Amino acid sequence: MVIHRRRTNDELWQAHQQPKTRGEGSVFQVTTSAGVQWRATRTLYMDDSGRAVQVSGTAASKEQAIERRENNLRKRLVKSGELPLSALSARPKELKLTTGEMLNEWLEVKRQKTSKAERVSANTAHVYENQIRLHIAPYVGSIPVRLITEEDIRNLLFRTLPKKMKTKKVDGKDVATNVPLLGASQLRLIQGIINQGFRYATEQGHVLENPTTRIDQLDKPDSRSETEHLEKKNWIAREIAAYTQGTAEEAHWIFALMGLRQSERLGLTWDCFTYLDDSRGKQPVVEIRQQLSRDAKTGTMSIKPQPKTNAGKRIIPLSPRVVDVLKRHRAEQRQIKQDEGWSTEPQFANLVYTTENGSPIRQTTDNKRWNSLLSDEKKLNLKPEYRIRQHALRHIAITLLITHGTPIEIVRAIAGHHSEAITRGTYSHIDTAPKVQPMNDLMDDIYRTADKRAARKTQ
C-alpha cells in the first residue's frame, strides 16, 4: 500500500502549523448524532482521480479515536492480505465471528428479552430472518464482523440492493422489466436491521467502532405527501363506497374505509359492538380490543386479545349508515350459519367476517379479494396505476379526518396511534362524544359519490 507523501517540515512551518511526525495524521473534534466527538484521520494514498483515500476513527476521546483509526487501518491491511488475521486485537471468537452470525445472534437476543418494549414478536422475528437470509447474508454475511467497513455497508444499501430487479408479468407473460425488487420501505427496514445489529455488536465488544454511525438514513417514500396522489386515493375510496353500496362487499370493506387496520377488522367479533340494536338514545360504538393473527411458522390462525399496540385499544362511534350496513350483514350471516358445514371452532364462532364455511379470513385471501374488487370489469376496473393497497384506505380516512378540521388528539384516538398528549393508558377510556361528529362527517364524505348517484336515480 503506497502512503501519500506528506509535506516537509519547512512547508508546515511556512504554513504556520506545528510539524507532525510521519503517520500521525490529523485529530480534530466533530459534531455527530452522539454529540461532540474526536475524529482521527490519516491519508493513505491518492487514487487514480487524484482524491485522497483516508482511514479514520471516531470516539469520545482523542486517544480512543487514534486507536480506532489504527485498528481500521489494520483491517484494510488484513483484507488486502498484507497482514495476517491475528494482527487484529480481538478475542478468538471475534476473529471468526461473521456479520451474518452476529446478526443472527442479535436477533436471538431480541427474542429472549423480558421487556415487551425490547422483545420482538415471533412474526417480526420471522420477517427479520428473511431479510437477513435473502438480502444481507448473501453479500456481507461472510465478512468477519471485525473486518466489515462503512464502505461495505454503503455499497450494499446504495448500490447492490437497489439494483436487484424482479420479473413482472405483462400481458400474461413473464418478461424481465426494470422494476426494482425492493421498494423504499423494505430498504429502510434492511438498514434498520443492520443498524440495530451493529449497535448490539458495539455494546458486546465485537467491534471497536460502529461502521453504520456515519451512514445517512435512506429517504422515506414521499408519494403520500403529493397532493395529486392523495386526491387520486380519495377519489378511489369514494368510488369503492359507491360501487359496493348495498352489496355484501360494502359490509366487508366498511371498516377499512373507516381506517381500521386489516388485522383489527378481520379480528372483530360481534361482542365488540355496543348499542347496535337497542341504543335507547345512546351512541352505538365498536371497541377495538383484539386482532386476527397468523403464526408465521405454523400458519395457525388465532385471535390475539390486544391490537397492534396498547394505544390501539380504543372505542369508535358508529354512524347511522354503518349501523345499517352491519345489521344487514349480521342478518345475512345468521341465515348462512344455518347451513351445514359452518365452522364450530369456539374462538371463531362469533367473528364478524368469515369465509363461506365460517373460518377466519386469512390476510392473503383478503388481499386477493381486494385486488379482485379493484380489477372487476363490471365494477371498478381500475387501471393498474390507480390500484392501491387496501392499507391505503387507513391513510385516506386519517387524511380526511384532518381535512375536516378534526383536532389531532381526536384523530389519534380514532386511528389508535400512540400519543404522549393522551395521558390515559388506552384510548378506550376517552369520551366518545368528541369522536361522533368526525366519524359521521368521514362516512358522509366517503359516500358522497354514492349519495349523488342515488339522488340522480330518484329524480
- Are 215 and 229 part of one and the same domain? no
Domain count, the chain: 3
Query: Which residues partner with 273 through β-bridges?
Result: 286
Tens-place pLDDT, residues 427-444: 233 455 667 788 888 888
Candidate ranges 32-41, 171-180, 220-229; pick with highest mean pLDDT:
32-41
Would residue 4 count as lying in a domain?
Answer: no
237 and 313 both lie in a single domain: yes
For residues 400, 404, 406 and 407, what is the CA-based torsion angle, rounded to 10 degrees? 100
User: What pLDDT score was predicted for residue 262?
Assistant: 93
DSSP for residue 354: B
Q: How far is CA 6 from CA 73, 130, 233, 370, 451, in A?
A: 18, 48, 61, 66, 79
Identify the pLDDT of residue 105: 93
Question: Which of 87, 121, 155 is the last residue before a domain boundary?
Answer: 87
Is the confidence at residue 172, as pLDDT, over 50? no
Q: What average pLDDT is seen over the chain?
A: 79
Q: What percent of the chain has pLDDT over 90?
A: 25
Q: Do 49 and 154 belong to one domain?
A: no
**Residue carrying the nine cell digits 363490471:** 378
| Domain residue limits at 253 | 225-458
Task: Give the residue among 412, 390, 398 at the shortest CA–CA distance from 442.
Answer: 398
Q: What is the pLDDT of residue 14?
A: 53
Residue ending a domain, choose from 159, 193, 221: 221
pTM value? 0.60
Q: Is 302 helix (H, G, I), strand (E, B) or coil?
A: strand
CATH of the domain at 202: 1.10.150.130
pLDDT at 285: 92
Amino acid residing at 325: V
